[in-house]
Structure 1
């Protein structure tokens, strides 16, 4: 999977999220232990194993849905990109 741009990484993330595909989701995350994830109204998940377990649990509990993403703000500076989005889950 090519994640050569922030947009490609974001697209892959939301495709995996909508498909509830754990392997595809974890392919988006860094391969080292430094990753962290905070799901809505949940405690932080630190490390790849905890992040994977969190997504697995979420995917197993979820019904069918689509994800619509709206870009709210973007900053590109010094080789870094920050994208703030609004997520809409359509059930």
Structure 2
């Protein structure tokens, strides 16, 4: 991955200390509203691991693209998508 590409990535892997339960989670960061004055919005996508109810790197990237696209199309905070999806279930 080129250095320039890394600078513009807005998703990352968060490593939690073992004292707090430990583990790794994918998070996405963006500004909302998407202007320079927008506040940073952090969206936790899910845990990174192997097995059920976890995310692979490829799946996480696809989910982050979907979340950002939804936010741009609707003009809503990207954190609201998860809330809306939970209400539907």
TM-score by length of 2: 0.28
TM-score by length of 1: 0.28
